[in-house]
Amino acid sequence: MTRIPLIAGNWKMHKTAEESVAYIRALNNVLILNETRVFLAVPFTAIEQASAAAHGTRITIGAQNMHDAEEGPFTGEISASMLKAAGAQFVILGHSERRKLFGETSEFINRKVHRAFNEGIIPILCVGETLEQRQQESVQHVLSKQLKEALNGLDASQIPELIIAYEPVWAIGTGKSATPDIAQEVHRMIRLFLEHSYGNKVAERVCLLYGGSVNPGNIAELMKEPDIDGALVGGASLDVAAFARMIQL
Ligand code: PGA
């Protein structure tokens, strides 16, 4: 089973709409022809213009979060249908910054995953353990719980449409990426979880990304691992030359 590689940039709270358009034009000019899929999770305010700029290129635009409700009295929130109408084709859900800084629960994330599927937006579900949990050797327990809760109620036929990003909390924005061995070990663990839950055929089709201090210097080694299908890149995706280099590598 060959899975198509995917490099996704997560810009977090960076770049205006205008800056996003300039970045996308510059990236498209230097993209070399390879099979890697290129995703950019831009701020809400840039989705519409970024999608227009990416139209006709191989760059896919998405969002970094959304609410689970269809619509309603949720001041400051964004719905899946709004994202879709603005041109977002995927959405990052359950990022550890959302879980930790904004108190998002697994139940909430699960409802968002269902909503994304209902609206035809690809969810990139993030899971990952803290340093403390790793030191307590509870990585498998933590990840199985996060996966079980986030995927609750999904049909096996939906699972291959989902993208899962393993992002160890201790590696995000710290410059301390997981070693290829550690990342592969956990990716294997995630694939085995999917295999036990949905069968081997489904598990083999799911695209698994690694995220946490990925940069042009470490991406090639990480991508050599058999269960790592791509990367979710934060800080290093802000620089167009660095991001283009990572797609190339
Ligand atoms: P980082 O962030 O690449 O800056 O570590 C990754 C992420 O949070 O998705």
Give the residue whose CA is nearest to atom 9 of ligand 1: 234
Give the residue whose CA is nearest to atom 6 of ligand 1: 234
Distance CA 102, CA 20 (A): 25
Kindly give, in sequence order, each residue whose CB lies less than 8 Å from that of residue 68, ignoring residues fewer than 6 positions away.
108, 111, 112, 114, 115
Distance CA 51, CA 175 (A): 30
Per the CB < 8 A criterion, the answer to whether 186 and 143 are in contact is yes
pLDDT at residue 1 tops 70: no
| Length of the chain (residues) | 249
Is the pTM here over 0.95, yes or no?
A: yes
Range 83-105 average pLDDT: 97
* 172 alpha carbon – ligand 1 mean position (Å): 5
Structure tokens at 161: 């449409």
Q: Does residue 233 have its Cβ closer than 6 Å to ligand 1?
A: yes
* 72 alpha carbon – ligand 1 mean position (Å): 31
Range 152-170 average pLDDT: 97
| Residue of 95, 104, 119, 187 marked catalytic | 95
* 34 confidence band (pLDDT: 50, 70, 90): confident
Q: Is 55 an annotated catalytic residue? A: no
Mark residue 121 as left, alpha or beta (left: phi above 0; alpha: psi -120 to 50; beta: remaining).
beta
The position carrying tokens 């699972």 is 159
Give the residue whose CA is nearest to atom 3 of ligand 1: 234
Among candidate residues 27, 17, 22, the one with its CA nearest the CA of residue 243:
27
Share of the chain above pLDDT 90, in %: 96
Helix (H, G, I), strand (E, B) or coil at 243: helix
Range 186-204 average pLDDT: 97
Q: Strands, DSSP E only, in 22-167?
A: 37-41, 59-63, 90-93, 122-127, 163-166
* 171 alpha carbon – ligand 1 mean position (Å): 8
The bridge status of strand 90-93 relative to strand 207-211 is: unpaired
Q: Other CB atoms closer than 10 Å to residue 203's CB: what's the count?
A: 22
Q: Does residue 235 have its Cβ closer than 6 Å to ligand 1?
A: yes
Confidence at residue 2, expressed as pLDDT on a 0 to 100 scale: 78
Distance CA 191, CA 212 (A): 19
* 210 alpha carbon – ligand 1 mean position (Å): 10
Q: Is 167 an annotated catalytic residue? A: yes
Range 94-120 average pLDDT: 97
Pocket test for ligand 1, best of 232, 237, 243, 246 (most atoms within 8 A of CB): 232
Q: How far is CA 194 from the centre of its chain?
A: 17
